Structure 1
Amino acid sequence: MTNAHNRTYTLSITGVLGALIILQSYLPMIGYITVVPGLPAISTIHVTVIVAASLLGPKMGMGLGTLWGVVSMIKAYTEAGDPLSLLLFQNPIIAILPRLAVGLVAGVIAYSLWPKVTGVKRTIKLSVAGILGALTNTVLVIALTWLLRGSAAVNLIPQANLATLGIVLFGMFFANAVAEMILAGIVTPLIVQPLLRFKR
Protein backbone atom coordinates (compact mmCIF):
# COMPACT_ATOMS: atom_id res chain seq x y z
CA MET A 1 0.00 0.00 0.00
CA THR A 2 1.41 3.41 -0.97
CA ASN A 3 1.60 6.25 1.55
CA ALA A 4 -1.15 8.16 -0.28
CA HIS A 5 -3.38 5.08 -0.34
CA ASN A 6 -2.64 4.46 3.33
CA ARG A 7 -3.59 8.03 4.31
CA THR A 8 -6.79 7.85 2.26
CA TYR A 9 -7.69 4.48 3.79
CA THR A 10 -7.01 5.74 7.33
CA LEU A 11 -8.96 8.96 6.86
CA SER A 12 -11.89 7.14 5.26
CA ILE A 13 -12.16 4.49 7.98
CA THR A 14 -11.67 7.04 10.76
CA GLY A 15 -14.31 9.39 9.36
CA VAL A 16 -16.90 6.69 8.79
CA LEU A 17 -16.40 4.99 12.17
CA GLY A 18 -16.22 8.30 14.04
CA ALA A 19 -19.52 9.38 12.51
CA LEU A 20 -20.98 5.96 13.31
CA ILE A 21 -20.01 6.31 16.98
CA ILE A 22 -21.86 9.62 17.19
CA LEU A 23 -24.93 8.17 15.44
CA GLN A 24 -24.91 5.08 17.65
CA SER A 25 -24.71 7.28 20.72
CA TYR A 26 -27.81 9.29 19.88
CA LEU A 27 -30.09 6.95 17.91
CA PRO A 28 -32.37 5.03 20.29
CA MET A 29 -31.73 1.28 20.62
CA ILE A 30 -28.79 1.36 18.20
CA GLY A 31 -25.71 2.13 20.29
CA TYR A 32 -27.31 1.43 23.67
CA ILE A 33 -29.97 -1.26 24.05
CA THR A 34 -32.02 -1.05 27.23
CA VAL A 35 -33.18 -4.50 28.34
CA VAL A 36 -34.16 -3.78 31.95
CA PRO A 37 -35.34 -0.21 32.64
CA GLY A 38 -33.31 1.46 35.36
CA LEU A 39 -30.21 -0.66 34.73
CA PRO A 40 -27.27 0.21 32.46
CA ALA A 41 -27.97 -0.46 28.79
CA ILE A 42 -26.07 -2.99 26.68
CA SER A 43 -23.63 -1.18 24.40
CA THR A 44 -22.84 -1.92 20.77
CA ILE A 45 -20.49 1.07 20.36
CA HIS A 46 -17.53 -0.85 21.73
CA VAL A 47 -17.62 -2.97 18.56
CA THR A 48 -17.09 0.14 16.43
CA VAL A 49 -14.07 1.15 18.51
CA ILE A 50 -12.67 -2.39 18.38
CA VAL A 51 -13.08 -2.52 14.61
CA ALA A 52 -11.25 0.80 14.28
CA ALA A 53 -8.42 -0.40 16.51
CA SER A 54 -8.16 -3.68 14.59
CA LEU A 55 -7.93 -1.90 11.24
CA LEU A 56 -5.89 1.18 12.16
CA GLY A 57 -3.95 0.26 15.28
CA PRO A 58 -4.05 1.17 18.97
CA LYS A 59 -3.48 4.92 18.52
CA MET A 60 -6.52 5.38 16.29
CA GLY A 61 -8.45 2.94 18.47
CA MET A 62 -7.66 5.08 21.50
CA GLY A 63 -8.67 8.19 19.59
CA LEU A 64 -12.08 6.83 18.65
CA GLY A 65 -12.47 5.33 22.12
CA THR A 66 -11.89 8.80 23.52
CA LEU A 67 -14.56 10.16 21.16
CA TRP A 68 -17.00 7.56 22.50
CA GLY A 69 -16.14 8.53 26.08
CA VAL A 70 -16.55 12.26 25.46
CA VAL A 71 -19.91 11.75 23.74
CA SER A 72 -21.13 9.51 26.57
CA MET A 73 -20.14 12.18 29.10
CA ILE A 74 -21.98 14.86 27.13
CA LYS A 75 -25.06 12.62 27.02
CA ALA A 76 -24.87 12.07 30.78
CA TYR A 77 -25.07 15.84 31.30
CA THR A 78 -27.66 16.62 28.64
CA GLU A 79 -30.06 13.67 28.48
CA ALA A 80 -32.18 11.71 30.92
CA GLY A 81 -31.06 8.17 31.66
CA ASP A 82 -30.89 5.58 34.40
CA PRO A 83 -29.55 7.16 37.63
CA LEU A 84 -26.50 4.90 37.89
CA SER A 85 -25.29 5.61 34.35
CA LEU A 86 -25.77 9.35 34.86
CA LEU A 87 -23.75 9.19 38.08
CA LEU A 88 -20.92 7.23 36.48
CA PHE A 89 -20.54 8.91 33.14
CA GLN A 90 -20.70 12.49 34.37
CA ASN A 91 -17.24 11.72 35.74
CA PRO A 92 -14.75 12.25 32.87
CA ILE A 93 -12.36 9.57 34.14
CA ILE A 94 -15.06 6.89 34.25
CA ALA A 95 -16.57 8.08 30.97
CA ILE A 96 -13.36 8.30 28.95
CA LEU A 97 -10.60 6.10 30.36
CA PRO A 98 -12.33 2.69 29.94
CA ARG A 99 -13.37 3.54 26.37
CA LEU A 100 -9.85 4.74 25.53
CA ALA A 101 -8.51 1.47 26.96
CA VAL A 102 -10.87 -0.55 24.73
CA GLY A 103 -9.11 0.87 21.68
CA LEU A 104 -5.68 0.29 23.21
CA VAL A 105 -6.26 -3.35 24.19
CA ALA A 106 -8.04 -4.31 20.98
CA GLY A 107 -5.47 -2.49 18.84
CA VAL A 108 -2.49 -4.14 20.51
CA ILE A 109 -3.99 -7.61 20.14
CA ALA A 110 -5.52 -7.33 16.67
CA TYR A 111 -3.11 -4.93 14.97
CA SER A 112 0.27 -5.08 16.69
CA LEU A 113 0.63 -8.72 17.76
CA TRP A 114 1.38 -11.29 15.07
CA PRO A 115 0.55 -8.91 12.19
CA LYS A 116 1.19 -11.48 9.45
CA VAL A 117 -1.11 -14.27 10.58
CA THR A 118 -3.88 -15.17 8.15
CA GLY A 119 -6.86 -17.47 7.84
CA VAL A 120 -8.28 -19.11 10.93
CA LYS A 121 -5.50 -17.76 13.16
CA ARG A 122 -6.35 -14.18 12.19
CA THR A 123 -10.04 -14.83 12.78
CA ILE A 124 -9.27 -16.15 16.26
CA LYS A 125 -6.98 -13.19 16.97
CA LEU A 126 -9.70 -10.73 15.95
CA SER A 127 -12.28 -12.56 18.07
CA VAL A 128 -9.97 -12.47 21.09
CA ALA A 129 -9.37 -8.75 20.51
CA GLY A 130 -13.13 -8.19 20.47
CA ILE A 131 -13.77 -10.21 23.61
CA LEU A 132 -10.94 -8.67 25.62
CA GLY A 133 -11.73 -5.17 24.36
CA ALA A 134 -15.31 -5.51 25.58
CA LEU A 135 -14.18 -7.00 28.90
CA THR A 136 -11.73 -4.12 29.39
CA ASN A 137 -14.56 -1.59 29.32
CA THR A 138 -16.64 -3.46 31.90
CA VAL A 139 -13.76 -4.15 34.29
CA LEU A 140 -12.49 -0.57 34.23
CA VAL A 141 -15.95 0.96 34.66
CA ILE A 142 -16.55 -1.22 37.74
CA ALA A 143 -13.07 -0.58 39.19
CA LEU A 144 -13.19 3.18 38.64
CA THR A 145 -16.72 3.39 40.01
CA TRP A 146 -15.59 1.65 43.19
CA LEU A 147 -12.56 3.93 43.50
CA LEU A 148 -14.08 7.28 42.51
CA ARG A 149 -17.84 7.10 43.04
CA GLY A 150 -18.20 4.40 45.67
CA SER A 151 -20.13 6.35 48.29
CA ALA A 152 -22.49 7.94 45.78
CA ALA A 153 -23.11 4.61 44.02
CA VAL A 154 -23.94 2.92 47.32
CA ASN A 155 -26.73 5.46 47.85
CA LEU A 156 -28.31 4.34 44.55
CA ILE A 157 -27.97 0.61 45.25
CA PRO A 158 -29.78 -0.22 48.53
CA GLN A 159 -28.31 -3.72 48.88
CA ALA A 160 -24.73 -2.50 48.50
CA ASN A 161 -22.13 -1.10 50.85
CA LEU A 162 -18.56 0.00 50.19
CA ALA A 163 -17.23 -3.48 51.01
CA THR A 164 -19.56 -5.28 48.60
CA LEU A 165 -19.98 -2.59 45.93
CA GLY A 166 -17.62 -4.24 43.45
CA ILE A 167 -19.49 -7.56 43.70
CA VAL A 168 -22.89 -5.87 43.36
CA LEU A 169 -21.75 -3.84 40.34
CA PHE A 170 -20.29 -6.96 38.75
CA GLY A 171 -23.64 -8.69 39.22
CA MET A 172 -25.47 -5.75 37.65
CA PHE A 173 -23.09 -5.57 34.70
CA PHE A 174 -22.54 -9.32 34.27
CA ALA A 175 -25.29 -10.00 31.71
CA ASN A 176 -24.30 -6.87 29.78
CA ALA A 177 -20.64 -7.88 29.82
CA VAL A 178 -21.35 -11.37 28.52
CA ALA A 179 -23.61 -10.06 25.75
CA GLU A 180 -21.07 -7.38 24.77
CA MET A 181 -18.18 -9.87 24.70
CA ILE A 182 -20.12 -12.36 22.59
CA LEU A 183 -21.19 -9.62 20.19
CA ALA A 184 -17.66 -8.26 19.82
CA GLY A 185 -16.13 -11.73 19.48
CA ILE A 186 -18.45 -12.62 16.60
CA VAL A 187 -18.84 -9.31 14.79
CA THR A 188 -15.25 -8.04 14.90
CA PRO A 189 -13.77 -10.63 12.49
CA LEU A 190 -16.87 -10.48 10.27
CA ILE A 191 -16.37 -6.74 9.70
CA VAL A 192 -12.58 -6.45 9.86
CA GLN A 193 -11.63 -9.33 7.54
CA PRO A 194 -13.34 -7.89 4.42
CA LEU A 195 -12.13 -4.34 5.14
CA LEU A 196 -8.53 -5.53 5.39
CA ARG A 197 -8.64 -6.44 1.71
CA PHE A 198 -8.90 -2.74 0.82
CA LYS A 199 -5.72 -2.08 2.77
CA ARG A 200 -3.54 -4.10 0.42
Structure 2
Amino acid sequence: MRREETKRMTITAVFVAVLLMQTFMSNIGYVRIIPTLPAVTTIPLTIAIYAVLMGPKAGFLFGLFWGITRLFVAYTQPGDMVSLMLFQNPAISLVPSILAGFFPGLIAKQFKKTKYDKYGYVLSGAVTSLTNTVMVILLTSLFFMHDPATLVHYLGNDAANSPLILILVTALGVNWLIEAIFTAIVVPVIVTPLNLVMKRA
Protein backbone atom coordinates (compact mmCIF):
# COMPACT_ATOMS: atom_id res chain seq x y z
CA MET A 1 0.00 0.00 0.00
CA ARG A 2 2.77 2.42 0.95
CA ARG A 3 4.63 1.64 -2.26
CA GLU A 4 1.48 2.37 -4.28
CA GLU A 5 0.97 5.69 -2.50
CA THR A 6 4.60 6.66 -3.13
CA LYS A 7 4.21 5.80 -6.80
CA ARG A 8 1.06 7.91 -7.11
CA MET A 9 2.68 10.85 -5.32
CA THR A 10 5.70 10.66 -7.63
CA ILE A 11 3.52 10.59 -10.75
CA THR A 12 1.48 13.51 -9.44
CA ALA A 13 4.61 15.55 -8.72
CA VAL A 14 5.84 15.00 -12.28
CA PHE A 15 2.51 16.07 -13.78
CA VAL A 16 2.31 19.12 -11.53
CA ALA A 17 5.78 20.15 -12.74
CA VAL A 18 4.73 19.65 -16.37
CA LEU A 19 1.56 21.70 -15.86
CA LEU A 20 3.49 24.53 -14.21
CA MET A 21 5.97 24.54 -17.10
CA GLN A 22 3.10 24.65 -19.61
CA THR A 23 1.47 27.49 -17.70
CA PHE A 24 4.42 29.78 -17.17
CA MET A 25 6.73 29.10 -20.13
CA SER A 26 5.79 30.94 -23.29
CA ASN A 27 4.10 29.02 -26.13
CA ILE A 28 4.22 25.62 -24.44
CA GLY A 29 0.89 25.32 -22.68
CA TYR A 30 -0.81 28.25 -24.38
CA VAL A 31 -0.08 28.68 -28.09
CA ARG A 32 -1.36 31.99 -29.41
CA ILE A 33 -2.56 31.76 -33.02
CA ILE A 34 -4.88 34.80 -33.23
CA PRO A 35 -3.50 37.61 -31.01
CA THR A 36 -6.87 38.95 -29.79
CA LEU A 37 -8.43 35.57 -28.96
CA PRO A 38 -7.67 33.02 -26.21
CA ALA A 39 -4.72 30.79 -27.03
CA VAL A 40 -4.96 27.19 -28.16
CA THR A 41 -3.91 25.20 -25.10
CA THR A 42 -2.04 21.91 -24.90
CA ILE A 43 -2.85 21.60 -21.20
CA PRO A 44 -5.97 19.41 -21.78
CA LEU A 45 -3.55 16.75 -23.06
CA THR A 46 -1.71 16.76 -19.72
CA ILE A 47 -4.99 16.75 -17.80
CA ALA A 48 -6.38 13.86 -19.87
CA ILE A 49 -3.26 11.71 -19.53
CA TYR A 50 -3.10 12.22 -15.77
CA ALA A 51 -6.82 11.54 -15.28
CA VAL A 52 -6.73 8.39 -17.42
CA LEU A 53 -3.73 7.06 -15.47
CA MET A 54 -4.88 8.06 -12.00
CA GLY A 55 -8.69 7.95 -12.08
CA PRO A 56 -11.57 10.43 -11.75
CA LYS A 57 -10.93 11.58 -8.17
CA ALA A 58 -7.30 12.42 -8.85
CA GLY A 59 -8.34 13.94 -12.18
CA PHE A 60 -10.85 16.15 -10.34
CA LEU A 61 -8.12 17.50 -8.03
CA PHE A 62 -5.65 17.96 -10.87
CA GLY A 63 -8.31 19.83 -12.82
CA LEU A 64 -8.82 22.05 -9.77
CA PHE A 65 -5.09 22.76 -9.72
CA TRP A 66 -5.25 23.72 -13.39
CA GLY A 67 -8.16 26.05 -12.66
CA ILE A 68 -6.22 27.76 -9.87
CA THR A 69 -3.21 28.35 -12.15
CA ARG A 70 -5.59 29.64 -14.83
CA LEU A 71 -7.07 32.12 -12.37
CA PHE A 72 -3.61 33.19 -11.21
CA VAL A 73 -2.40 33.80 -14.78
CA ALA A 74 -5.55 35.81 -15.61
CA TYR A 75 -4.69 38.22 -12.78
CA THR A 76 -0.93 38.36 -13.23
CA GLN A 77 -0.14 37.91 -16.94
CA PRO A 78 -3.22 37.65 -19.17
CA GLY A 79 -2.27 37.22 -22.81
CA ASP A 80 -5.31 39.02 -24.24
CA MET A 81 -8.36 40.98 -23.14
CA VAL A 82 -10.78 38.08 -23.71
CA SER A 83 -8.78 35.79 -21.42
CA LEU A 84 -8.60 38.55 -18.82
CA MET A 85 -12.36 39.12 -18.90
CA LEU A 86 -13.22 35.43 -18.85
CA PHE A 87 -10.71 33.81 -16.53
CA GLN A 88 -10.62 36.42 -13.79
CA ASN A 89 -14.04 35.00 -13.00
CA PRO A 90 -13.37 32.07 -10.58
CA ALA A 91 -16.33 30.06 -11.89
CA ILE A 92 -15.11 30.27 -15.51
CA SER A 93 -11.57 29.39 -14.45
CA LEU A 94 -12.36 26.57 -12.02
CA VAL A 95 -15.51 24.73 -13.11
CA PRO A 96 -14.46 23.84 -16.70
CA SER A 97 -11.00 22.83 -15.48
CA ILE A 98 -12.34 20.59 -12.71
CA LEU A 99 -14.83 18.82 -14.99
CA ALA A 100 -12.17 18.49 -17.70
CA GLY A 101 -10.12 16.52 -15.17
CA PHE A 102 -12.98 14.45 -13.79
CA PHE A 103 -14.69 13.20 -16.97
CA PRO A 104 -11.69 11.60 -18.75
CA GLY A 105 -10.82 9.68 -15.60
CA LEU A 106 -14.40 8.45 -15.33
CA ILE A 107 -14.56 7.41 -19.00
CA ALA A 108 -11.24 5.58 -18.86
CA LYS A 109 -12.30 3.80 -15.68
CA GLN A 110 -15.45 2.49 -17.37
CA PHE A 111 -13.63 1.40 -20.52
CA LYS A 112 -10.98 -0.47 -18.48
CA LYS A 113 -13.68 -3.00 -17.65
CA THR A 114 -14.01 -3.85 -21.36
CA LYS A 115 -11.73 -4.91 -24.19
CA TYR A 116 -12.10 -1.48 -25.78
CA ASP A 117 -9.85 0.42 -23.39
CA LYS A 118 -7.87 2.00 -26.26
CA TYR A 119 -11.06 3.61 -27.56
CA GLY A 120 -11.60 4.91 -24.06
CA TYR A 121 -8.27 6.73 -24.26
CA VAL A 122 -9.26 8.42 -27.52
CA LEU A 123 -12.67 9.39 -26.16
CA SER A 124 -11.15 10.65 -22.91
CA GLY A 125 -8.82 12.94 -24.83
CA ALA A 126 -11.59 14.42 -26.96
CA VAL A 127 -13.93 14.81 -23.99
CA THR A 128 -11.31 16.72 -21.99
CA SER A 129 -11.08 19.44 -24.63
CA LEU A 130 -14.81 19.39 -25.35
CA THR A 131 -15.75 19.71 -21.67
CA ASN A 132 -13.38 22.61 -21.14
CA THR A 133 -14.57 24.56 -24.19
CA VAL A 134 -18.30 23.89 -23.77
CA MET A 135 -18.27 24.84 -20.09
CA VAL A 136 -16.27 28.01 -20.77
CA ILE A 137 -18.79 29.00 -23.47
CA LEU A 138 -21.84 28.22 -21.33
CA LEU A 139 -20.55 29.99 -18.22
CA THR A 140 -19.37 32.99 -20.24
CA SER A 141 -22.80 33.25 -21.87
CA LEU A 142 -24.39 33.13 -18.44
CA PHE A 143 -22.16 35.73 -16.77
CA PHE A 144 -22.10 38.15 -19.72
CA MET A 145 -25.74 37.66 -20.69
CA HIS A 146 -26.86 41.10 -19.53
CA ASP A 147 -23.87 43.10 -20.76
CA PRO A 148 -22.07 41.36 -23.63
CA ALA A 149 -21.01 44.50 -25.54
CA THR A 150 -17.42 44.79 -24.26
CA LEU A 151 -16.70 41.09 -24.63
CA VAL A 152 -18.26 41.00 -28.11
CA HIS A 153 -16.07 43.98 -29.07
CA TYR A 154 -12.89 42.16 -28.09
CA LEU A 155 -14.09 39.07 -29.93
CA GLY A 156 -14.18 41.23 -33.07
CA ASN A 157 -17.94 41.14 -33.61
CA ASP A 158 -19.02 44.76 -33.06
CA ALA A 159 -21.54 44.70 -35.86
CA ALA A 160 -22.88 41.23 -35.18
CA ASN A 161 -26.46 40.80 -34.02
CA SER A 162 -26.00 37.13 -33.22
CA PRO A 163 -26.55 35.75 -29.71
CA LEU A 164 -23.45 35.80 -27.52
CA ILE A 165 -23.29 32.02 -27.31
CA LEU A 166 -23.15 31.75 -31.12
CA ILE A 167 -20.38 34.35 -31.28
CA LEU A 168 -18.43 32.40 -28.64
CA VAL A 169 -18.89 29.12 -30.50
CA THR A 170 -17.65 30.76 -33.69
CA ALA A 171 -14.68 32.43 -31.98
CA LEU A 172 -13.60 29.48 -29.83
CA GLY A 173 -14.74 26.61 -32.06
CA VAL A 174 -11.52 26.49 -34.08
CA ASN A 175 -9.49 26.32 -30.87
CA TRP A 176 -11.61 23.45 -29.59
CA LEU A 177 -11.35 21.50 -32.85
CA ILE A 178 -7.56 21.75 -32.88
CA GLU A 179 -7.30 20.86 -29.18
CA ALA A 180 -9.76 17.94 -29.42
CA ILE A 181 -8.11 16.31 -32.44
CA PHE A 182 -4.64 16.76 -30.98
CA THR A 183 -5.62 15.41 -27.55
CA ALA A 184 -7.66 12.48 -28.89
CA ILE A 185 -4.75 11.33 -31.06
CA VAL A 186 -1.91 11.81 -28.58
CA VAL A 187 -3.51 10.50 -25.35
CA PRO A 188 -3.54 6.79 -26.40
CA VAL A 189 -0.04 7.10 -27.84
CA ILE A 190 1.31 8.24 -24.46
CA VAL A 191 -1.00 6.41 -22.04
CA THR A 192 -0.57 2.92 -23.53
CA PRO A 193 3.19 2.59 -22.81
CA LEU A 194 2.86 4.50 -19.51
CA ASN A 195 0.29 1.99 -18.29
CA LEU A 196 2.71 -0.85 -19.02
CA VAL A 197 5.51 0.93 -17.15
CA MET A 198 3.24 1.61 -14.16
CA LYS A 199 2.16 -2.04 -13.95
CA ARG A 200 5.79 -3.16 -13.82
CA ALA A 201 6.80 -0.53 -11.24
Give the TM-score normalised by the residue count of structure 1.
0.92
Instruction: Label 1:116 to 1:160 Cα distance change in 2 as closer, same or farther (>3 A).
Output: same
Query: Deviation digits for residues 46-93 of structure 1, max 9, x if unmatched?
Result: 111111110000111111111111111111111142111100000011
Amino acid aligned to 1:184: T
Aligned to 2:155: none
Aligned to 2:111: 114
Contact conserved, 1:154 with 1:160, CA < 8 A, in 2? no
Amino acid aligned to 2:47: V
Cα separation, 1, equivalents of 2:160 and 2:149: 6
Instruction: Label 1:153 to 1:191 Cα distance change in 2 as closer, same or farther (>3 A).
Output: farther
- Percent of aligned pairs sharing the same letter: 36
Aligned 1:24-173 pairs, distance under 5 A: 24-110=22-108, 112-118=109-115, 121-157=116-152, 158-160=158-160, 164-173=163-172
Amino acid aligned to 2:69: V
Amino acid aligned to 1:27: M
How far is the alpha carbon of 1:152 from its aligned partner?
A: 4.8
Cα separation, 2, equivalents of 1:99 and 1:93: 10
How far is the alpha carbon of 1:159 from its aligned partner?
A: 3.7
Deviates more, 1:151-160 or 1:98-107: 151-160
Instruction: Label 1:51 to 1:159 Cα distance change in 2 as closer, same or farther (>3 A).
Output: farther
Instruction: Label 1:80 to 1:109 Cα distance change in 2 as closer, same or farther (>3 A).
Output: closer
Give the TM-score normalised by the residue count of structure 2.
0.91
Contact conserved, 2:70 with 2:93, CA < 8 A, in 1? yes
Contact conserved, 1:130 with 1:188, CA < 8 A, in 2? yes
Query: Deviation digits for residues 81-134 of structure 1, max 9, x if unmatched?
Result: 211110000001100110100111101001x2032445xx22211000110111
Instruction: Label 1:152 to 1:28 Cα distance change in 2 as closer, same or farther (>3 A).
Output: farther
Instruction: Label 1:151 to 1:19 Cα distance change in 2 as closer, same or farther (>3 A).
Output: farther
Cα separation, 1, equivalents of 2:184 and 2:77: 30
Contact conserved, 1:87 with 1:153, CA < 8 A, in 2? no
Q: Is 1:179 equivalent to 2:174 in the alignment? A: no
Contact conserved, 1:25 with 1:71, CA < 8 A, in 2? yes
Aligned to 2:189: 190
Give the gaps of 5 or more residues in structure 2. 153-157
How far is the alpha carbon of 1:153 from its aligned partner?
A: 4.1
Amino acid aligned to 2:182: L
Instruction: Return structure 1 stretches of 4+ with deviation > 4 angstroms.
Output: none
